[in-house]
């Protein structure tokens, strides 16, 4: 996929033309997305090394796939003492500069979504980068609970309502 296909212009600044969207009502917790992610990004079949996590909703048979939201004011970026986490100006993706990262894990603690991970074997943090525009988790999601779609076609209001129902209001 060419860079021109990944990047679009929205509201006068460059942004990703697509975002990763989850649909908890379709997720069956199979973990195929985690296996595909860990294989493509780490070379091993290990859900702990996946950039996408699946959370069980309060012990029910409902699941919530979660990955980096590439927040505009990313808490992980604000928590980093070495400014190793930055937002790309071309794509607005939140990325890690491993030359600056000291593996303190402040970003892991700061992420409100639990989307940052830490690899104890490699001694480094990790997060989703959309596989540079071709997310493997989406390709291998059999129940089609994941999609890589235009931001204006996302069902975020419905997902927020569902999340508040199961998680409860913030304190």
For residues 131 and 151, what is the distance between their CA atoms, to the nearest angstrom? 17
The predicted structure's pLDDT at residue 153: 60
Residue 73 neighbours by CB distance under 10 Å? 7
For residues 68 and 129, what is the distance between their CA atoms, to the nearest angstrom? 8
Beta strands in the chain (DSSP E): 7-10, 13-16, 19-22, 53-56, 63-66, 85-87, 94-96, 117-119, 124-126, 146-149
53: helix, coil or strand? strand
Q: Which two tokens stand for residue 125?
A: 């943090």
The predicted structure's pLDDT at residue 139: 96
For residues 37 and 158, what is the distance between their CA atoms, to the nearest angstrom? 26
For residues 37 and 119, what is the distance between their CA atoms, to the nearest angstrom? 14
Q: Which pTM was predicted?
A: 0.77
| Residue closest to 67 by CA, chosen among 138, 144, 140, 160 | 138
| Residue 161, domain member (yes or no) | no
The predicted structure's pLDDT at residue 1: 32
Domain region containing 122: 70-85+96-127
- Both 49 and 133 in one domain: the answer is yes
DSSP state of 154: -
**What is the count of structural domains for the chain?**
2
- Both 63 and 76 in one domain: the answer is no
Q: Which two tokens stand for residue 114?
A: 């639990």
Provide φ and ψ at 61, rounded to 5°.
-85, 45
The predicted structure's pLDDT at residue 13: 38
- Both 5 and 32 in one domain: the answer is yes
- Both 74 and 150 in one domain: the answer is no
The predicted structure's pLDDT at residue 104: 97
- Both 104 and 30 in one domain: the answer is no
- Both 100 and 123 in one domain: the answer is yes
CA of 71: how far to CAs of 48, 88, 93, 119, in Å? 23, 12, 8, 22
- Both 107 and 134 in one domain: the answer is no
Q: What is the pLDDT along the chain (171 residues), one digit of tens a residue?
A: 333 333 333 333 334 578 899 998 999 999 999 999 999 999 999 999 999 999 987 777 889 999 999 998 999 999 999 999 999 988 889 999 999 999 999 999 999 999 999 999 999 999 999 998 899 999 999 999 999 987 766 555 555 565 556 555 544
| Residue 168, domain member (yes or no) | no
Could you tell me the CATH number of the domain that includes residue 49? 3.30.70.20
The predicted structure's pLDDT at residue 92: 84
- Both 59 and 133 in one domain: the answer is yes
């Amino acid at each position: 996929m060419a860079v021109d296909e990944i990047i679009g212009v929205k509201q006068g600044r460059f942004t990703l033309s697509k975002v990763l969207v989850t649909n908890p009502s379709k997720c069956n917790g199979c973990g195929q997305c985690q296996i595909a992610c860990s294989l493509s990004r780490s070379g091993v079949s290990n859900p702990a090394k996946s950039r996408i996590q699946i959370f069980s909703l309060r012990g029910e048979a409902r699941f919530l796939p979660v990955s980096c939201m590439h927040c505009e004011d990313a808490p992980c970026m604000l928590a980093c003492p070495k400014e190793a986490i930055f937002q790309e100006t071309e794509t607005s993706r939140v990325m890690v500069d491993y030359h600056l990262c000291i593996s303190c894990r402040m970003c892991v603690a700061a992420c409100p979504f639990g989307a940052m991970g830490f690899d104890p074997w490699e001694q480094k943090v990790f997060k989703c980068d959309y596989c540079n525009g071709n997310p493997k988790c989406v390709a291998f999601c059999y129940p089609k609970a994941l999609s890589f779609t235009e931001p204006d076609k996302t069902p975020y209001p419905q997902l927020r309502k569902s999340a508040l129902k199961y998680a409860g209001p913030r304190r």
